[in-house]
A and B are shown apart, each in its own frame.
Chain A
Amino acid sequence: MTRQMTGAKIVVQALKDQGVDTVFGYPGGAVLPIYDEIFQQNDIRHILVRHEQGATHAAEGYARATGKPGVVLVTSGPGATNAVTGLTDALMDSIPIVVLTGQVPTFMIGSDAFQEADTVGITRPCTKHNWLVKDTDELSGVIHEAFHVAISGRPGPVLIDIPKDVQFANGSYSDPKPAASHYHPQVKGDMAEIEKLADAIASAKRPVFYTGGGVINSGPAASQLLRELVDATDFPITSTLMGLGCYPASGKNWLGMLGMHGLYEANMAMHDCDLMINIGARFDDRITGRIDAFSPKSLKAHIDIDPSSINKVIRVDIPILGDVAHVLEDLLKVWKAKGRKTNKEAVQKWWGQIKDWRAVDCLAFTQKGKTIKPQYALARLEELTKDMDRYICTEVGQHQMWAAQYLGFEDPNRWMTSGGLGTMGYGTPASIGVQVAHPDALVINVAGEASWLMNMQEMGTAVQYRLPVKQFIMNNERLGMVRQWQELLHGERYSHSWSEALPDFVKLAEAFGAKGIMCDNADDLDEAIKEMLAYDGPVIFDCLVEKHENCFPMIPSGKAHNEMLLGEADTQGVIDAKGSVLV
């Protein structure tokens, strides 16, 4: 069915037909017609952010907490360029967001008009796809296609650039037609490879599941099937930062996170295994460490929906191109039909080995005296919130790794962190997006004070929309991870890695109209956290922690999984010149 309406109306109608209930945005000259349409309806809620980067991260938080694409509406020029970091972040972490940008009128494009930027040119490398719509008749089709592209295959950000005259002009509106697109990535895995994997599962002596964000992106069914597979095989399972929650942290087969700051038992299992089953992860450099020493003795299977992820970094023996849920369903069927076989005796022995590694207790720490250890702060936060309907966001740095180590995730879509791009300033706007999606849930942003300052303006958004986000800032007055690397790699020359002239966070909270809490004493921490949880509104929690704590375990750059540093005593002279050029 086609109807005539203005481009601006088409935008709003298309969003409604795509099931959009929330848009994060910021108005400006080139999107005024669309804002005028938003003003005249009540189906779509607009959340006014304080900076366009905040809009993109809020949309990412919304998308990750709901499984639906997040939507952003910003103006041309600076509005679009401010969205670039969020687009890149979403591309790296495979988060579906749809960004609508205004553009100068078609007849002024190329004239260096006021607030003109080559938005599709700038965002081409940081979107999955983007469009400049020059004809109002094509607008609805492009918007529907954009949603399809954002969520199909490996999800990612898309952008639609809409010149102002296209918003004013009349055009025909078409309803969504999913078959209209030629873009349909393969979701079913190759049965021959799945058979091979089932046979490998049957004979493996030292198997490990290595899971990632692809399990979460595949939807709740994928996590369900994964749990079934893990329980049925009794194989150990680890996950990347992005995949936390796909298997419950309380599950008996859980090894904890792997990688640069992953758990000892997880990394040792990866190094010594004879069958590695990668499900929706991409052999990122934070995971592999030194590549020529990565899991040298294992047969490697890799399930991924993106063909470019397979054999990109690590050569695999059983590549399976497909969607995690589809492949796991087939794998379970095939494996069950073959008699549900595993090498129980050998796997039992493997668990014995893992038990020895677990006994190292790599996350142990000692809380002595009144100064709060950051690990202790998170352990207490975990203890006091683990049974709540809880969502955790983070910024980027030491606190992010500690959060991944010390907080437990029982379900997918509960953990929002900037993994691939490592965007400081991600957490505050992301927590706003999550809270918008789940108004009654507990949403905590675990932050460091330096990261938090990067998008602190979004506290205004939290207060305006009464979003009771809890900003749990672990304040060491340092750029902790930078400081740690300078200590290990740059002769303890702490170049510009401390936070001077910090604001008084309690007063800052009050200035925003939020609640501020400061805690600098381990004895008072529980009460202070409880006060934060009890407050019905946004809170900035300034938790003053030990200033020179380093994040361990750590695989130094250029080293293998079995060369982990477990604590301060291991750190002398461990990173050679080769390793030190790696980030």
Chain B
Amino acid sequence: MSPLKIKKGSSSHSAYNLRPTFSDVQERHTLAVMVDNEAGVLARVIGLFSGRGYNIESLTVAEVDHEGHLSRITIVTTGTPQVIEQIKAQLGRIVPVHEVHDLTVEGPSVERELALFKVAGDGDKRIEALRLAEIFRANVVDSTLNSFVFEITGAPDKIDAFADLMRPLGLQEVARTGVAALARGAE
């Protein structure tokens, strides 16, 4: 019997590399999950992702139907097509989950995220930050003599782009809400 030669921390000998990979392509999907707004429901959803090793890129939750006690959870996740299908099926069988929609495949959808940026600086940098904020249609929601807080709404990549521009101009802090998304059209 040959001794085990498994490098410490190596995953090449993990049980999972024996799995067939239906497709290696990592896809990014936005899921909308309607749930009963009851104690612990968010913990169930998050526990599912951590317990089964799925990714969460962003997650937002708020009650959207006060009378029906329904909350909408919007999750942006990545995985192979097979993993994405598993995530949807696993979410769907949580008892307080009413509906699971994959906005990425169910037709066109809009995604928006709100972010707050604190940018501190003087002179040209300050003027450049304000000029770029106008181009990006960001609002100034707080100002001192040497800082701004910008509020920006848009698709996540627009916010990423704005962050990249602000970094050399004195970016201090960012707060992002995560993605809210809806399918386009009347349905």
Contacts and interface: CB of A to CB of B under 8 A. Distances in A.
How would you classify the secondary structure of chain A's contact residues: helix, strand, loop or mixed?
loop
B71 to A, nearest CB: 14
Given A307-B89, A308-B86, A573-B2, A291 B43 contact: no
A124 B4 contact: no
Q: State the 7 A-B residue pairs at the shortest beta-carbon distance, nearest first.
A: A308-B89, A129-B95, A307-B89, A292-B20, A308-B90, A582-B15, A581-B13
B28 to A, nearest CB: 20
A120 interface: yes
B95 A581 contact: no
A578 B86 contact: no
A128 interface: yes
Interface string B14-38: 1101111010000000000000000
Given A124-B40, A577-B6, A183 B95 contact: yes
A551 B1 CA distance: 19
B36 to A, nearest CB: 8
A133 to B, nearest CB: 11
Contact of B1 (A149, A182, A558, A573): A573
B164 interface: no
B108 interface: no
B20 A581 contact: no
A491 B15 CA distance: 21
Nearest to B39: A132
Q: Which of B3, B4, B14, B98 has the most CB of A within 10 A?
A: B4
B102 to A, nearest CB: 14
Interface string A122-148: 001100110010000000000000000
Nearest to A182: B98
A307 B86 CA distance: 9
B138 to A, nearest CB: 40
Interface string A261-292: 00000000000000000000000010000111
Interface string B120-149: 000000000000000000000000000000
A576 B2 contact: yes
B6 A581 contact: yes
Interface of A: 120-121, 124-125, 128-129, 132, 149, 153-154, 182-183, 185, 285, 290-292, 306-308, 310-313, 315, 488-489, 491, 558, 572-573, 576-578, 580-583
A315 B21 CA distance: 10
B158 interface: no
Contact of B18 (A129, A292, A488): A292
B184 interface: no
A307 B92 contact: yes
Given A308-B89, A311-B82, A558-B18, 10 more contacts: A121-B40, A124-B40, A124-B44, A128-B95, A153-B93, A183-B95, A306-B93, A576-B2, A581-B13, A582-B15
Contacts of A315: 20, 22, 82
Contacts of B14: 581
Nearest to B3: A491
Contacts, number: 75
B93 A580 contact: no
Size category of the B interface is 20 to 34
B19 A291 contact: yes
Interface of B: 1-6, 13-15, 17-20, 22, 39-40, 43-44, 47, 51, 82, 85-86, 89-90, 92-96, 98
A292 B20 CA distance: 5
B5 A577 contact: yes
A488 B2 CA distance: 11
Q: Which of B1, B15, B22 has the most CB of A within 10 A?
A: B1
Contacts of A311: 82, 85-86
B93 A577 contact: no
Contact of B43 (A124, A292, A307, A573): A124
Contacts of A313: 19
A578 B44 contact: no
Contact of B20 (A120, A291, A491): A291
Q: Which of A182, A315, A572, A581 has the most CB of B within 10 A?
A: A581
A291 B18 contact: yes
23 contacts: A121-B40, A124-B47, A129-B95, A132-B39, A182-B98, A183-B95, A285-B15, A292-B19, A307-B89, A308-B86, A308-B89, A310-B89, A311-B82, A311-B85, A312-B86, A315-B20, A489-B1, A491-B1, A577-B2, A581-B13, A581-B15, A582-B15, A582-B18
A125 B47 contact: yes
Contacts of B20: 291-292, 315
B90 to A, nearest CB: 5
Nearest to A307: B89
A311 B82 CA distance: 8
B98 A577 contact: no
A315 B96 CA distance: 28
A121 B43 CA distance: 9
A132 B17 CA distance: 40
A551 B3 CA distance: 23
Nearest to A152: B95
A149 B93 contact: no
A306 B5 CA distance: 39
B80 to A, nearest CB: 12
A323 to B, nearest CB: 14
A128 B17 CA distance: 29
Contacts of A572: 1
Nearest to B91: A308
A256 B20 CA distance: 28
A308 B18 contact: no
Nearest to B44: A124
A580 B18 contact: no
Contacts of B2: 573, 576-577
Contacts of A292: 18-20
Nearest to B51: A125
Contacts of B22: 315
Nearest to A305: B93
Contacts of B18: 290-292, 558, 578, 582
Contacts of A120: 40
Given A125-B47, A125-B51, A290-B18, A580 B92 contact: no
A272 to B, nearest CB: 19
Nearest to A580: B4
B47 A149 contact: no
A495 to B, nearest CB: 14
Contacts of A582: 15, 18
